[in-house]
Amino acid sequence: MEINPMLKDVILNILNEEYLKGGEILHDIKRIYDNCIPKEKNQFYSMLLFFLTHLEFKEDEAKKHWEKILERYYYFERLLRRDISLRLAIVDYFTSDYRLLKNPIIIEMFLYEVTEKNALMDELTGLYNYRYLQRALDAERKRSTRYKLPFSLIFMDLDNLKNINDNFGHSMGDHALRCVSETIRLHKRSEDIACRYGGDEFIMLLPQTLRDGALECVNRIKQAIEQHCDKGDFHLTLSAGIAEFPADSDNPEQLVQLADQALYQAKCMGKNSVVCKIEQN
């Protein structure tokens, strides 16, 4: 099977979030499919079922199987009167109705291609690292250029992390970074890519998103951090800068620089701020 690497990452991210979102991932899957470009739609459900079952189908056949799996999912949900796992419906369908799985073995999704993924993940936060960001930016630039789509970058920085490290120790600083990372993960869309850029800096890549949408996203994250990452002894805030492709630049490296410059302006404004567009002197 020919695998689109960016679509693969989006699908695996959705599946990894089932333990957080439960049945909500079904809505995420439909939304991602609806927002896919035609080339991605032509392999979406075949890739989805491949990652879930390791069975290969043509796209039209995979889509029919998926519709039957959804029917099975909602049947069990009504029968048991509680949320169920998507994997339960899949295993039942492929062992009872369409007997392609004879002795299914359930494994954690994060074990899938674990060696490759570990090389692209930040160990402390569990977000993607700078190496993955470079790959994702290049792929999104090609995709957005070909289909004339925008995307936005959010460059974020924790305010006063050095003071937390100095006054409370690096273990508390690490706790702050993990708390912020988990908040970002919970408040981003499944298709958004969140990376730890280094130190206390984070970058988010938001496909098919204008700067106003990026501003809404970062404001949600800022509010959640202020509500849920407050330890009492210190108060966490976030500053951010936004840049939009291709309105600000069609060069990924320059786009990162522009988002970084916007972040710097936000810091100069007194921190806990967001700058959407660089003010030229």
Cα 70 to Cα 47: distance, rounded to the nearest angstrom: 16
- Looking at residue 36, its pLDDT comes to 85
Q: Tell me, what DSSP letter sits at residue 249?
A: -
Mean pLDDT score, 8-23 = 71
Of 5-14, 36-45, 53-62, 207-216, the least confident: 5-14
Mean pLDDT score, 228-250 = 87
Cα 164 to Cα 171: distance, rounded to the nearest angstrom: 10
Confidence (pTM): 0.66
Mean pLDDT score, 262-266 = 95
Tell me the CA distances in angstroms from 101 to 7, 50, 111, 135, 243, one per residue in order.
25, 13, 20, 35, 47
Q: Is the pLDDT of residue 142 over 80?
A: yes
Tell me the CA distances in angstroms from 112 to 50, 97, 107, 121, one per residue in order.
12, 26, 8, 14
More confident residue, 167 or 206: 206
- Looking at residue 1, its pLDDT comes to 57
Cα 79 to Cα 88: distance, rounded to the nearest angstrom: 13
pLDDT in tens, 172-222: 899 999 999 999 999 998 889 999 999 999 999 999 999 999 999 999 999
Per DSSP, which regions of 109-164 are E strands? 151-158
Mean pLDDT score, 111-118 = 54
CA angle 56, 93, 103 (to 5 degrees): 70
- Looking at residue 255, its pLDDT comes to 96
- Looking at residue 7, its pLDDT comes to 75
Taking the CB of residue 250, how many other CB atoms lie within 10 A of it? 12
- Looking at residue 110, its pLDDT comes to 47
- Looking at residue 129, its pLDDT comes to 92
Average pLDDT, the chain: 86
CA-based nearest residue to 256, from 126, 131, 133, 129: 133
What percent of the chain clears pLDDT 70, i.e. is strictly above it? 86
Per-residue pLDDT band for 18 (boundaries 50, 70, 90) equals: low
Domain 124-275: give its CATH code.
3.30.70.270
pLDDT in tens, 69-98: 999 999 999 998 888 888 888 888 888 877
Two tokens, residue 224? 């959640």
More confident residue, 116 or 262: 262
- Looking at residue 208, its pLDDT comes to 93
CA-based nearest residue to 85, from 175, 23, 161: 23
Listed by start position, the domains of the chain span 5-117, 124-275
What percent of the chain clears pLDDT 90, i.e. is strictly above it? 47
For the annotated catalytic residues, the residue numbers are: 200
Per-residue pLDDT band for 146 (boundaries 50, 70, 90) equals: confident
More confident residue, 281 or 58: 58
Per-residue pLDDT band for 116 (boundaries 50, 70, 90) equals: low
